[in-house]
Chains A and B, each alone.
Chain A
Amino acid sequence: AQKVTQAQTEISVVEKEDVTLDCVYETRDTTYYLFWYKQPPSGELVFLIRRNSFDEQNEISGRYSWNFQKSTSSFNFTITASQVVDSAVYFCARITAVSFGAGTTVTVRA
């Protein structure tokens, strides 16, 4: 199976600190999509960002940014100036071959 690995199981930070979540994926495909999802304590899964495999430009969207490096098969996600509301489980995922990482629990303390 083409796995998605999130090595960090839990991260705890104090409000206003930056948080970087690591994601490494396996692939045999030349074209694929990578995603980050957030699952707050309420349980729903919320789509955050998408990156396709042929665009390695890294972007910033508000307090979110991501670093996609095809050479190392990594798709890291950063929350800048974290807030308590950012506390959630964050999942990295890829399509084709739908795979989710195990998730990283982020706790932001006031």
Chain B
Amino acid sequence: DSGVTQTPKHLITATGQRVTLRCSPRSGDLSVYWYQQSLDQGLQFLIQYYNGEERAKGNILERFSAQQFPDLHSELNLSSLELGDSALYFCASSPQDREAFFGQGTRLTVV
């Protein structure tokens, strides 16, 4: 158990819908990262937050947004979903630019 909790574990939704993925980092970790893993794209970095502030941005679509709350949990919002958004979404946390510990992921299926 990495100490990072992601909910839900599985999500099935229709195209055009909006979903929210939630991540609770390890106790004390200020950094939260979001990654998307699909079969054809590998593990893609989406965005990083550090203590509530956006720190780095990767290949995150405009339809996607994230935030980190004062209690350090984070949410990834995916809207206007397309079939191609089906993927495994990982959240990871770390103290500060050190090893990141990953949650078990949320498997999103868009139908």
Contacts and interface: CB of A to CB of B under 8 A. Distances in A.
B100 A103 contact: no
A80 interface: no
B43 A100 contact: yes
Main secondary structure of the interface of A (DSSP, over half): strand
Nearest to B35: A100
A102 B56 CA distance: 20
Contacts of A12: none
Nearest to B33: A98
B98 interface: yes
Interface string B40-69: 001101001000000010100000000000
Interface string A94-108: 011111101100000
B104 interface: yes
A64 interface: no
29 contacts: A33-B97, A33-B98, A35-B99, A37-B102, A43-B104, A43-B105, A44-B2, A45-B92, A46-B2, A47-B99, A47-B100, A47-B101, A47-B102, A50-B99, A91-B43, A96-B97, A98-B33, A98-B45, A98-B48, A98-B56, A98-B58, A98-B100, A99-B45, A100-B35, A100-B42, A100-B45, A102-B42, A103-B42, A103-B43
Interface of B: 2, 33, 35, 42-43, 45, 48, 56, 58, 88, 90, 92, 94, 97-102, 104-105
Interface of A: 33, 35, 37, 43-47, 50, 91, 95-100, 102-103
